[in-house]
Chain A
Amino acid sequence: MRGTPARRALIRLVQAVTVPLALAIIWEVLARRRWVSPQALPPPSQIFSRWWEGLRPAEAFDPAKGGYLRWLVSGEMVGDMLASLTRVLVGFAIGTGLAIPLGLLLGTSRIAYRLGHPLLEILRPIPPIAYVPLAIVWFGLGNPPAFFLISLGAFFPVLVSTIAGVRNVDSIYLRAARNLGARGATLFLRVILPAAAPQILTGTRVGMGVAFIVVIVAEMIAVNSGLGYRILEAREFFWSDKIIAGMFTIGLLGLGLDTAMELINGRLLRWHRSLEAN
């Protein structure tokens, strides 16, 4: 026997934090003894306090200035987080909203595929970052080029997986459905679409990941808010602690987005076989 479930969970937790904690301690010691430049690598304790500073509200709670919740999210970094989150969600919604219908069309119609696929294969390898100059020429600065770049980042992974999902629908489902009398819209909506859903949703998760990369880049270039903007701004003042604190927040936000996508997908695909193991 290996102990109670609670005990095993505790052991797992200890195992999970051991390596990060050990590295943080070594890092702290190195930085405090000035074996590394504090400019390059400030000690974790300093980064953490900088992080906390950004997270908490800058001023004391004052009911005259608005509600409690509003005060609670008035910290600089919280504002940046919300700005980045909003941007990534809007961009993702635009990109996915265009990619899924187009992918369904290209996946279903042979003629649409033959017409559209070559162009897609030419455009797809261009990294979204390469669109930065064009985005600025087209949209100037501010949110519009950011939305354009982020939606572009989400667009291609979702498009490609939607096309593949539809084209790879197991023919046995199509045969069974036709045998039961399904055709046209019914066949598409009740058989092809759900059969392709696992692959489409995998694509949306990848798309969200790319959109999140692009939002940080876009904020470094085109806008004056958000986590990407903030860490680039901190560089101007050589605030390494603030840069690293911002990176940490970016990591947490990315993890949060990916986990949310996984939960949504798992919920939508609760019938799916490969989720059994979870």
Chain B
Amino acid sequence: MEAAAIEVQGVHQTFASAAGDVVALEAIDLSIAPGEFVCLLGPSGCGKSTLLNAIAGFARPTAGSITVGGKRVTGPGPERGMVFQEYALFPWMTVRANVAFGLEIQGRPAAECRERVDDLLEKLGLREFAGRYPKDLSGGMRQRVAIARLLALDSPVLLMDEPFGALDALTRRSLQDELLRIWAAFRKTIVFVTHAIEESIYLADRVVVLTYRPGTIKAIVPVALPRPRDPSSVEFNELGRRLTRLVMAEQDRFQRAEGP
């Protein structure tokens, strides 16, 4: 069997707060295969973003280890590209400069950068927007640029933190399709955080349901449906009901703990 792309072993994450220590993650074991698309699903406070941040290297787990591509994660790095809900494009750079930034840091020759960036802008339908600033783009366009920025670096792993959460339903669906196309074309391993059940079924090979505080893995649900998936199909809806039951139990715990 092929080595895992991402190996999470016994990860605990504790945060100090005014009310005492909060256990955000407890005993997380998760193995993700190369090229796999995994969704982390759960209500607010279940630690799904915390887990993603730990994989990205932004936060060091209190205990346990995370290895990506056989290397222990000790800090952020371009081999684990992150897509944020807030886009996090640099507003002072044009679309082209945003996409080229990572390559320039690596000190690649200018000609190579230009060629690569042009190619990506073309593939993501951003060519006409190359000279614009992020403020002049729609949310969907901005998120495309954020993805292009990571594709430029050839990150084998994409970590996505509710990337389409701020988009309207139609834009969201078209970006989901686009992401699936990118995933298949560029053979990425994707960890995708969401609280939208339908989105997780539409996208993922496996859906990892997390529990509300402390965050543990409640269930791992494989989605064996062929793509493109039809959200109105019987199988899709059966999975939807099952995941809804799992997630809503945690949502209830969340509401009892923090109020509606």
Does the CB pair B135–A179 fall under 8 Å? no
Given A173, A181, A186, which contacts B90 in the complex, CB threshold below 8 Å? A173
Flag whether A32 is at the interface (Cβ < 8 A).
no
Size range of the interface on A? Answer: 20 to 34
CB proximity to B under 8 Å, residues A164-178: 172-173, 175-178
Given A172-B86, A182-B105: A271 and B77 interface contact (C-beta under 8 Å): no
A190 in contact (CB, < 8 A): yes
| Most central of B56, B91, B102 by chain A CB within 10 Å | B91
Taking a contact as CB atoms closer than 8 A, the residue among A173, A197, A271 that contacts B88 in the complex is A173
Interface string of B79-118 (1 = CB under 8 A from A): 0111010101111110000000110011000000000000
Write the nearest CB–CB distance from B80 to chain A, whole angstroms: 7
Determine whether A65 belongs to the interface, using a CB cutoff of 8 Å to chain B: no
Does A181 lie within 8 Å of B82, measured CB to CB? no
Separation of A276 and B88 alpha carbons in the complex (Å)? 19
Q: Is the CB of A194 within 8 A of B78?
A: no
Task: Tally chain B residues at the interface, Cβ within 8 Å.
Answer: 26
- Whether A2 is near chain B, meaning CB under 8 Å from some CB there, is no
Tell me, yes or no, whether A141 is within 8 Å of chain B by CB.
no
Is A163 positioned at the interface, with any CB of B under 8 Å from its CB?
no
One of A177, A182, A190, A271 near B91 (C-beta < 8 A)? A271
Near A by CB (< 8 A), chain B positions 131-149 give: 133-135, 149
Query: Is A194 within 8 A of B102, CB to CB?
Result: no
Interface: B76 (CB within 8 A): yes
Q: A172-B86, A271-B135 are in contact. List 5 more A-B contacts (CB 8 A).
A: A175-B88, A179-B56, A179-B58, A186-B105, A195-B90
A residues sitting closer than 8 Å to B (CB atoms) are 172-173, 175-182, 186, 190-191, 194-195, 197, 270-273, 276
A selection of 19 A-B contacts at a CB cut-off of 8 Å is: A175-B58, A175-B76, A175-B82, A175-B88, A176-B88, A176-B89, A176-B90, A177-B90, A178-B75, A179-B78, A181-B78, A181-B102, A182-B101, A182-B105, A195-B92, A271-B93, A271-B135, A272-B91, A273-B135
> What 5 A-B pairs are tightest by C-beta distance, nearest first?
A176-B88, A180-B102, A194-B92, A271-B133, A181-B78
